[in-house]
Amino acid sequence: MARRGYYYHSTMLLRFKLSRIYGCEGKHFKVYNNELREVLEHPSEEKPVSVDFSYNKTDLVITVTGFIKKKMRISNQKDRGDIYILQNQFSPLLPSLCDLLKRLSIDSEQGESWRFGNPQERMGRQGVPKLRKLAEVRGVSLEAPFDAYVFSIENANLVVDSEIPGIAQTKWRSEGGERQIHLGVFGYHCGLRKRKMPQEVVINIPLKKLENSFLKPIQKNWID
């Protein structure tokens, strides 16, 4: 199934064709912009965001829709994006990616050593949930709409974790305490430009990194 869309680069607007692979719900979702002190997030615990996985000639494209914008409740958050997907909704993506790699002729790069460890507990915040790190990908990008502005992270890092709620994770407990897959995007090349884009957050993962930095590490470190 194909759909048309737009890729919003920092300097130009390109029309392209996306081929959809898989769609699911994001139980939790956040994009923080500390300059505006605003956050994009899922509307409520009962109303998740929609997450689509597609691809074009160069990237695996993750598109998130159905979010709302609010003022940041706690200041000085790191500029980043976070998607939490229940594991039973995330897992069907993996065989779809295997099929995609078989169909496409991709010169896959070798996997890289991980730079980042597990998250650490911060003062005044909920404790760190029980987790296992699954994968780490460099060279990712994120773009997100904040009214008249577009927030972007270029040459970003994507970290994938498998998490179950800790004792202090009351929101996750109220959702049933199920294991979730966390996709976290962060980096040092963050920007805010006065420009409009559709109400969707777009994350691009280079196809050349898909096999050895994303798919195979997730399969290797997976917890049932």
Tokens 């706690």: give the residue: 74
**pTM of the entire structure?**
0.88
Q: What are the CA-CA distances from residue 139 to residues 3, 54, 63, 156, 208 (Å)? A: 25, 18, 17, 5, 10
Task: List the single range of 4-8, 189-193, 194-198 with lowest mean pLDDT.
Answer: 4-8
Looking at per-residue confidence, does 130 or 34 come out higher? 34
| pLDDT (tens digit per residue) in 94-150 | 999 999 999 998 999 999 999 987 665 554 445 556 789 999 999 999 999 999 999
- pLDDT of 172 reads 60
- The closest of 9, 1, 34, 3 to 202, measured between CA atoms, is 9
- Total of domains in the chain: 1
- The closest of 135, 151, 128, 156 to 201, measured between CA atoms, is 151
Query: Residue 204: exposed, middle, or buried by beta-carbon count in 10 A (0-12, 13-18, 19+)?
Result: buried
Residue 176 has pLDDT above 80, yes or no: no
Looking at per-residue confidence, does 28 or 17 come out higher? 28
Q: Would you give the distance in Å from CA 74 to the centre of its chain?
A: 21
| Domain range enclosing 80 | 2-113+120-221
Would you say 159 and 127 are in contact if contact means Cβ atoms under 8 Å apart?
no
- pLDDT of 1 reads 32
β-bridge pairing 80-86 and 180-186? antiparallel
- pLDDT of 46 reads 87
Cβ neighbours of 7 (radius 10 Å): 18
Residue 7 has pLDDT above 80, yes or no: no
Tokens 């890092």: give the residue: 157
Q: What are the CA-CA distances from residue 41 to residues 16, 50, 156, 176 (Å)? A: 27, 12, 20, 20
- The closest of 147, 152, 115 to 8, measured between CA atoms, is 152
Residue 13 has pLDDT above 60, yes or no: no
| pLDDT (tens digit per residue) in 50-106 | 999 999 999 999 999 999 999 998 888 899 999 999 999 999 999 999 999 999 989
Question: If DSSP codes are grouped into helix, strand and coil, which group holds residue 109?
Answer: coil
Which pLDDT band holds residue 173 (cuts at 50, 70, 90)? Answer: low
Q: How far apart are CA 31 and CA 27, in angstroms?
A: 14
Beta bridge partners, 156, equal: 140
Quote the tokens at residue 17.
Answer: 């064709």
Q: What are phi and psi of 180, to 5 degrees?
A: -125, 150
Would you say 81 and 181 are in contact if contact means Cβ atoms under 8 Å apart?
no
Task: Fill in the amino acid letter for 148.
Answer: A
| pLDDT (tens digit per residue) in 196-211 | 999 999 999 999 999 9
- pLDDT of 218 reads 98
